[in-house]
C-alpha cells in the first residue's frame, strides 16, 4: 500500500469515526429532559444537562421542556349556583415533572394541552356550579381557583404533569345578559336622578315659601315699628310746640 492510498484510508477512517462519534453523542440543555429511544422503546430518561451518549443509527433522542408552560383556555359558558350564565376566561401554567410518564401518556405538548384543557373545563364546570355569581366574581374567587387547581393537578399527575397555577382572568355575563343588566341599571339611575331632581325642586319651593313668610313678617314688623316711631315723633313735636307757646299739650 503506497503512501497516497494509506492517507486516503486514514482519512476515510477518521471521517467514519467522526460520524460515529457525532451519531453517538447528544447534548441535553439545562432547560430540557431527554428520552433515549431504541426502535420506539424508551432506554433511558435523562434530566441532568451535559454531553450524553447513545448507539448511533439505532437510538434516537426526544426532548421535553423543563420550563413552566402556559395554556390559554377558550372562553366557556358556566351556569352558577344562582342560575346565572357566566362567560369564564381562564389560563393554566404547568410543567413536566416525569418525562417518561409524559411520553407514555401523551407523547407531545399538543396532546397534553388537549387533555389539560378537558381536565380544567370539567373542573371549572363542577366547582363553579356550586358557587354564586358574586362568590365567583368577588368573595370566593381565590378559593375557587385553588380548588380547581387541586382537582386538575390530581388528574394531571397521570400525565407526568404538575399544575403550577389555574387562574380565572375574566368572569362576565354573556353579551345579551350584559345589555339587559346595563339597561336595567341605566333605568334605575335615571329614576334616582328624577327623584333627586323632584326632591330638589320641592326643597327649593319650601325654602322660597319660608323665605317669603319671613320677609312678610319682617316687613310687617318694620311697618309697625315705623308707625310707632312716627306716632312718637308727632307726640314729641306737639309737646315741644306746646311748651314753646306755653299752652296745654292737648290743646
The C-alpha cell 315705623 sits at 226
CB atoms within 10 A of CB 88: 20
- Let me know: does 35 contact 46? Beta carbons within 8 Å: yes
For 135-192, how does the pLDDT look when each residue is reduced to its tens digit (9 = 90+)?
A: 998 899 999 999 999 999 999 999 999 999 999 998 887 765 555 555 666 777 777 7
DSSP label at residue 64: E
Angle at 83 between CA 77 and CA 85, to 5 degrees: 20
Q: Does residue 78 share a domain with residue 60?
A: no
Count: domains in the chain: 2
> Does residue 102 form part of some domain?
yes
pLDDT-derived band at 246 (thresholds 50, 70, 90) equals low
Residue spans of alpha helices (H) in the chain: 3-24, 99-105, 109-128, 133-134, 141-156, 175-245
Of residues 69 and 226, more confidently modeled: 69
Instruction: Single out the residue in 143, 173, 203 at which a domain terminates.
Output: 173
CB atoms within 10 A of CB 101: 16
Q: Does residue 139 share a domain with residue 76?
A: yes
Instruction: Provide the residue range defining the domain that includes 22.
Output: 3-65
> Does residue 100 form part of some domain?
yes
Amino acid at each position: 500500500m503506497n503512501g497516497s492510498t494509506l492517507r486516503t484510508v486514514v482519512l476515510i477512517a477518521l471521517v467514519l469515526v467522526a460520524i460515529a462519534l457525532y451519531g453517538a453523542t447528544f447534548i441535553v440543555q439545562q432547560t430540557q429532559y431527554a428520552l433515549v429511544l431504541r426502535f420506539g422503546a424508551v432506554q433511558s430518561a435523562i434530566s441532568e444537562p451535559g454531553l450524553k451518549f447513545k448507539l448511533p443509527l439505532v437510538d434516537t433522542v426526544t426532548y421535553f421542556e423543563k420550563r413552566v408552560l402556559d395554556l390559554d383556555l377558550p372562553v366557556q359558558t358556566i351556569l352558577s349556583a344562582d342560575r346565572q350564565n357566566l362567560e369564564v376566561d381562564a389560563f393554566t401554567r404547568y410543567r413536566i415533572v416525569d418525562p417518561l410518564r409524559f411520553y407514555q401518556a401523551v407523547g407531545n405538548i399538543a396532546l397534553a394541552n388537549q387533555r389539560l384543557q378537558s381536565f380544567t373545563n370539567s373542573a371549572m364546570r363542577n366547582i363553579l356550579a356550586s358557587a354564586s355569581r358574586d362568590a365567583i366574581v368577588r368573595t370566593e374567587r381565590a378559593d375557587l381557583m385553588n380548588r380547581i387547581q387541586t382537582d386538575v393537578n390530581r388528574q394531571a399527575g397521570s400525565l407526568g404533569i404538575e399544575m403550577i397555577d389555574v387562574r380565572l382572568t375574566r368572569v362576565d355575563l354573556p353579551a345579551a345578559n350584559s345589555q339587559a343588566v346595563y339597561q336595567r341599571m341605566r333605568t334605575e339611575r335615571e329614576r334616582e336622578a328624577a327623584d333627586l331632581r323632584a326632591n330638589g325642586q320641592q326643597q327649593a319651593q319650601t325654602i322660597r315659601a319660608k323665605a317669603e313668610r319671613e320677609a312678610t313678617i319682617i316687613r310687617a314688623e318694620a311697618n309697625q315699628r315705623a308707625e310707632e316711631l312716627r306716632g312718637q315723633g308727632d307726640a314729641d313735636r306737639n309737646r315741644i310746640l306746646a311748651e314753646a307757646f306755653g299752652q296745654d299739650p292737648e290743646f
